[in-house]
Structure 1
């Protein structure tokens, strides 16, 4: 009885944790080819994972067929990875779910199979792994932007009668005495005075980027906007007549040998930084 209670408590806790993790995401993105395999949908692993996710109530999509809103905001989805820990005598696999910043937010239990035929063994191992989601009652929570409420209640207060009468008496008793003598007069020159003001130079400072930061390129008119995982637009870049060279507000972005670089002048010194841009 004691072990049954502990198992039930663990199951309820696991279910609540998993549900709260998934409810913030509208889509789950499945790759057409998992990194463990050489071919697309090898052993029908991709179609099986997508099918099992759909059966559990998730909106699963392939990575090459993303909805428009997910293309604009990648952080609306979770991204599936297959962890293949197979050995010579058995197939072992678990499923990881990562957010748009490649942070793992959930991983299933490891499924196992001793079938000798690869298609059957991977199918059994993946199905066993995905049983971890059977306890999840998934419901997507649409973000709510509540309007800001401003109250002006009690901002204007009435002046009581006593205060009004007091003010009236002061106004009546105050007399302004004007002196027209030479000694009482003051003179202030209104002639222009030379100013020490100098016009500020409108200097555009370069954007600082973390070396491990991933930037996603979203197409705009004549270029792209680079968005981080929050998501926030960090920099807009514009096409030039030279391939893989873009103009930025304070320098240039260019690509070479599969890598991207941000080049600009800082205090009259040419500075170059490598960026991790996903087009």
Structure 2
């Protein structure tokens, strides 16, 4: 969803696990990073999207997408879509010499040298081995989830924020399943082992 949205807005989009073009690989400041932040409680799911430069400076933050849907997966998708929609048409691109991206009057002006803008999808997590299993870290190496090995290679005991559950592999990918308020939730996790 993120990749499709930013491509429609005129960006060239790469996942952080993709092989980058030579210019981008040599100078990460030619790209912007996109990051989704969640601020949810038991009554609503709230998501906002941030665009950051290579120095981790926030250049643009979307409106807060809010959903009161009870099922977490549906709620997150609805709030995320609303958050992205608030950015539609707000990202005007201006290319000049070799300056860095700047925010001016709610418009992101990016300034790579002779190349189109790039956004790196940061939703995929990397698995870093530990003595007990793995830590799943984001693009800036912050631990998002802790995994403990079990007797099966496709099942881990997992902890994310205040939630405890299991991370298991199903046909279409990895899923974090946990109990919240007497209901079992299943959240798809993009992870690279």
Q: TM-score, normalised by structure 1?
A: 0.33
Higher strand share: 2
Q: Which has the higher contact order (CA 8 A, sep 6+)?
A: 2
Higher helix share: 1
Structure with bigger gyration radius: 1
